[in-house]
Amino acid sequence: MKENSKKEKIIIIDFGSQVTKLIARRVRELGVFSEVLTLKDLKRIKDFNKIKGIILSGGPATVTVKNFPNIPSRIFLLNIPILGICYGLQLIAINFGGKVKSGRKRREFGRAILLKKNSSLLTKNFYKTNKNYVWMSHQDIVYKLPKYFKKIASTKESPYTIIENKFKKIYGIQFHPEVTHTKNGKILIKNFLFKICKMKKNWKITSEKERIIKNIKNKVKNNKVVCALSGGVDSSVVALLINKAIKKNLVCIMVDTGLMRKNEFKLTYQLFKKKYKLNVKLINASKIFYKKLTNIINPERKRKIIGNLFIKIFEKESKKIKNVKYLAQGTLYPDIIESRSATGSKSSKIKSHHNVGGLPKKMNLKLIEPLREFFKDEVRQLGKSVGLSREIIKKHPFPGPGLAIRIIGKITPEKIKILQEADNIFINELIKDKLYEKIWQAYTALLPVKTVGVMGDSRTYEYICLIRAVKSEDGMTADYFNFSKEFLDKISNKIINGVIGVNRVVYDITSKPPSTIELE
Ligand code: XMP
């Protein structure tokens, strides 16, 4: 990743921990610009002028073997404050003559009690008494303190849980201050940024808006940009930002797959065309999508068919527009972090995102990704600052393949209609009862079985509608939402009475893991 060399910042060297991106989040929440870089990126940096602090993340590697990912020793001579977290602490220890061993018996996963041993700038205001609860995830431990370092805190199993070399401004923490399970963890990061690195607050998402717009203007000049607009938060923010930068040279293409929620496509089209006055081309492709999905049951095949068809149609339509040079995408920062390997090892590479937005490279268009430095909640704030309506900003995530992966088994236009009606009732009731914004994602799905019921005096034989609602921070893990019995009663009643084709409603009470949020 190209690092931004113009701004004072903290850099985070990613050794492949699953929670590295949380470090970046915490730093930005504290009002300081930060970037996550790989070791390779670090080795390429020539000018360290704007780098005011370096954080070394955790990771799956161990320093107890011959070849381990290490930072170049010159970095320790730059006089830039360094904070090592977990593997980062072990790296610091080994580089300064400490000793680390694999501690199978002494490994710590989950909550541990941290005991204060000495005072430090890093731990100012961190403890209430002389102990604190922290979140651990490690197998190796530092068992010999490196020379000129001081022990600041320990747990029962790891004697050197926090260490410091005050003179060199190098600090190490064995636990994870970036996760919320560590009580007051953010205070440690805050102390590192402001007391040790002496950073000033320089990051506010809304002040980034003008910079993004200027960058787009400079990059695109008088060329044309195409953008696939779905009406979700990301593509909507991308379209509005680009529109602010280049106005008439942006063409948004909306491909109606017929797999969206009730009226969603129509409303999005009207909003962007009439309210925001964007140049939007609407392509009705539902017939071809239905046709290609006939008799397809396998979820992965459904996803592939939809993804490929979407790309084909988008490509065909954008070829009709003259002088297009750029393709705009709503790639977010977590997508960038997750889809590249931190250390070059295969083990730390997380699955690439399964997003229909992943448009083809062979289109020969250059990419613009105005959101590639931002997290989802930052994108929502950006959306607010470009005047995006609250309904879109607060919209639950919706998967690229749409309702196709919420109709389990074969897809038919009749089933889509049933599902759209049920979903519409469910979502409207959530909004009415002020529950919608308390939930990460809610939807209805149609199960591929019919069961017997009785309505009036007649026997019915109809589909089962499943409702799902989960709480989550990032979609990686999720807990099912605890509705009141009254709400469940109301929903069941409204769906059965309002939707022809459904005679049974069930609530999915599984969390992720072991289930996923979507059913397919
Ligand atoms: P799962 O089902 O894997 O979903 O727990 C996690 C989050 O990702 C969304 N999702 C998708 N989003 N294209 C997308 O853009 C997809 O193919 C896709 N599949 C799942 C899902 O809705 C949830 O928010």
Q: Are strands 131-138 and 108-116 parallel, antiparallel or unpaired?
A: antiparallel
Give the model confidence (pLDDT) of 293-326 as tens digits. Answer: 999 999 999 999 999 999 899 999 999 998 899 9
d(Cα 178, Cα 27) in Å, to the nearest integer? 9
315 flagged as catalytic: no
176 flagged as catalytic: yes
Ligand 1 pocket: which of 517, 519, 520 to mutate (most atoms within 8 A of CB): 517
The Å distance, Cα 348 to ligand 1 centre, comes to: 20
Evaluate if residue 451 carries a pLDDT over 80: yes
* Per-residue confidence (pLDDT) for residue 347, from 0 to 100: 35
Neighbours of 105 (CB within 10 A): 6
Q: Are strands 250-256 and 108-116 parallel, antiparallel or unpaired?
A: unpaired
Give the model confidence (pLDDT) of 411-446 as tens digits. Answer: 999 999 999 999 999 999 999 999 999 999 999 999
* Per-residue confidence (pLDDT) for residue 23, from 0 to 100: 93
Least confident of 2-6, 243-247, 408-412: 2-6
d(Cα 46, Cα 78) in Å, to the nearest integer? 12
d(Cα 327, Cα 329) in Å, to the nearest integer? 7
Q: 3-state SS string over 470-482?
A: EECCCCCCEEECC
The Å distance, Cα 272 to ligand 1 centre, comes to: 25
86 flagged as catalytic: yes
Pick the closest to residue 27 from 170, 190, 168 (CA basis).
190
pTM of the model: 0.76
Across 336-439, the runs of DSSP E, i.e. the strands, are: 366-368
Could you say which DSSP state residue 70 is in?
Answer: -
Over residues 172-184, mean pLDDT: 92
Kindly report the protein residue whose alpha carbon is nearest to atom 3 of ligand 1. 516
* Per-residue confidence (pLDDT) for residue 228, from 0 to 100: 93
Could you tell me the two tokens for 327?
A: 């393709």
CA torsion through residues 320, 323, 325, 326, sign: negative
Domains and CATH numbers, the chain: 2-196 (3.40.50.880), 205-393 (3.40.50.620), 406-507 (3.30.300.10)
Element (H, E) at 37: strand 34-37
Evaluate if residue 286 carries a pLDDT over 70: yes
Ligand 1 atom with minimal separation from the 401 CA = 17
Residues flanking ligand 1, CB < 6 Å: 303, 354-356, 397, 399-401, 441, 475, 512, 516-518
The Å distance, Cα 418 to ligand 1 centre, comes to: 22
Give the model confidence (pLDDT) of 501-514 as tens digits. Answer: 999 999 999 998 88
Kindly report the protein residue whose alpha carbon is nearest to atom 4 of ligand 1. 517
* Per-residue confidence (pLDDT) for residue 461, from 0 to 100: 98
d(Cα 435, Cα 418) in Å, to the nearest integer? 23
Over residues 357-375, mean pLDDT: 78
The Å distance, Cα 71 to ligand 1 centre, comes to: 36
Ligand 1 atom with minimal separation from the 519 CA = 2
Evaluate if residue 13 carries a pLDDT over 90: yes
Which of the residues 3, 35, 178, 421 is marked catalytic? Answer: 178
Phi/psi region, residue 185 (left: phi>0; alpha: psi -120 to 50; beta: rest), is alpha
The Å distance, Cα 364 to ligand 1 centre, comes to: 28
First to last CA, the chain: 33
Least confident of 112-121, 332-341, 398-407, 438-447: 332-341
Ligand 1 atom with minimal separation from the 518 CA = 2
The residues facing 447 across adjacent strands are: 464
Ligand 1 atom with minimal separation from the 303 CA = 17
Evaluate if residue 351 carries a pLDDT over 80: no
| pLDDT tier at 339, thresholds 50, 70, 90 | low
The Å distance, Cα 354 to ligand 1 centre, comes to: 7
Evaluate if residue 357 carries a pLDDT over 50: no
Do the beta carbons of residue 172 and residue 83 sit within 8 Å? yes
* Per-residue confidence (pLDDT) for residue 128, from 0 to 100: 87
SS3 content of the chain, % helix, strand, coil (to 5): 35, 25, 40
Ligand 1 pocket: which of 234, 305, 403, 518 to mutate (most atoms within 8 A of CB): 518
Ligand 1 pocket: which of 233, 302, 354, 474 to mutate (most atoms within 8 A of CB): 354
User: Which position has the token pair 């196709």?
Assistant: 404
d(Cα 359, Cα 42) in Å, to the nearest integer? 30
Over residues 64-91, mean pLDDT: 96
Over residues 60-72, mean pLDDT: 95
Which of the residues 176, 208, 317, 462 is marked catalytic? Answer: 176
Could you tell me the two tokens for 292?
A: 């290609």
Which of the residues 86, 197, 252, 465 is marked catalytic? Answer: 86
d(Cα 132, Cα 185) in Å, to the nearest integer? 10
Could you tell me the two tokens for 232?
A: 């979700």
The Å distance, Cα 519 to ligand 1 centre, comes to: 10
Give the model confidence (pLDDT) of 201-260 as tens digits. Answer: 998 888 789 989 999 999 999 999 999 999 999 999 999 999 999 988 999 999 999 999
Half-sphere exposure of 7 (CA within 13 A, CB side): 16
* Per-residue confidence (pLDDT) for residue 203, from 0 to 100: 87
Kindly report the protein residue whose alpha carbon is nearest to atom 10 of ligand 1. 399
